[in-house]
Structure 1
Amino acid sequence: MKLRTREFNRSMVTADNISEISARVSPGITDSGQGLIFGAACYEAGMIEMLRGIAAEALEFGMGNILVTRNTKKALKEQVEKSEELRQNLNEDTLVLLEEYEDATQNAADRDAEDHFVEGFIRGYAYLKRQVEFGTYFGVRGSGG
């Protein structure tokens, strides 16, 4: 089995680096405050991309299976029952088409589940970041308030 690997640049960028980068990339930015706003936006975009990779990697290699809820088990059971009922009423050619359809549907559901996991991971990061910056986090007031 060939493992999917991802490469990340895990080095951190300092405020001085951000100012230098913003001056180089956007020469119209002369105010260091503008540079820091630009840099913060770039940093956040980079962090989100890095989190996407980490979340996908965690889902694929480290998190294990996500538990199936009672409601999902019930829906899956109904899906299997309806599929079996349908299979009994199809000719061979149509049965092949149904199997291809079910494979395509499963692939779409797998991608959807991965996308939702990654998005939840990123939203969790954003939530915790806001709590640290502006709210209370484990009973300690954030630096922003």
Structure 2
Amino acid sequence: MKTMVFPTQVSNVANDIGVTMDSKTFELGSRCYDSGMVSMIRMIAGNELRNVSESDEIESKITKECRETVEGKFQQLLRTLSPEHKKLFMEYEDEFNSYLGCTGDDRFITGFISGFSYLLSEMRFGSGQDFLL
């Protein structure tokens, strides 16, 4: 199991509180540590996400092409719908955009956590230093 904690950190805590270290104790300690780390990183990522402005966003060429295609198809579809169907479709479109916004936030936070974990691993194993005491 890949964790963000060194075995010595879990062992030191176990020794400090007088708990005998076995594989189950190590797994419990590691999972608790990781759960706490992920919770903290998730909060940091959420704060960072709220601070991102539109000027910080980068739209790739392929994303721009997809957006333009979707916008064209959207307008084309709207012209074919009756007023009743247009209203229903616009309600659907609002909800779908909300869903996409939520999944984008989830992906940002997941990427932030993965990036943190990767950097932590590089700091630890690339230089041999433990930066989280």
Normalised by the length of structure 1, the TM-score is: 0.69
Q: Once superposed, what is the RMSD of the aligned Cα atoms? A: 2.8
Distance 2:27 2:99 in 1: 38
State the Cα distance separating 1:85 from its structure 2 match: 0.6
Aligned to 1:109: 100
Deviations 1:8-50 (A, max 9, x none): xxxxxx8799438976xxxxxx414665653333122101111
What is the one-letter code of the residue matched to 1:19? A
Q: Which residue of 2 aligns with 1:31?
A: 20
Query: Which aligned runs of 4 or more in structure 1 are off by greater than 6 angstroms?
Result: 14-17, 20-23
Q: Which residue number in structure 2 is paired with residue 78 of structure 1?
A: 69
Report the CA distance between 1:55 and its aligned residue: 0.4
Note the C-alpha offset of 1:70: 1.6
> Could you tell me whether the CA contact under 8 Å between 1:133 and 1:142 is conserved in 2?
yes
Identity %: 26
Partner of 2:14: 19
Amino acid at match of 1:143: Q
Q: Choose the corresponding residue for 1:122, options 96, 110, 113.
A: 113
Q: TM-score, normalised by structure 2?
A: 0.75
Task: Find the aligned partners of 2:105 and 2:129 in 1 and give their Cα distance.
Answer: 34
Equivalent residues in 2 for 1:23-102, closer than 5 Å: 30-32=19-21, 38-60=28-50, 62-65=51-54, 66-102=57-93
SS in 1 for 2:80: coil
Distance 1:20 1:57, change over 3 A: farther
Q: Which amino acid aligns with 1:92?
A: P
- CA–CA distance in structure 1, aligned partners of residues 35 and 106 of structure 2: 17
**Higher helix proportion, which one?**
2
Matched, 1:143 2:129: yes
Residue segments in structure 2 that go unaligned for 5+ positions in a row: 1-8
**Structure 1: any 5+ residue segments left out of the alignment?**
1-13, 24-29
Provide the rounded CA distance (Å) in 1 between the counterparts of 2:16 and 2:87.
57
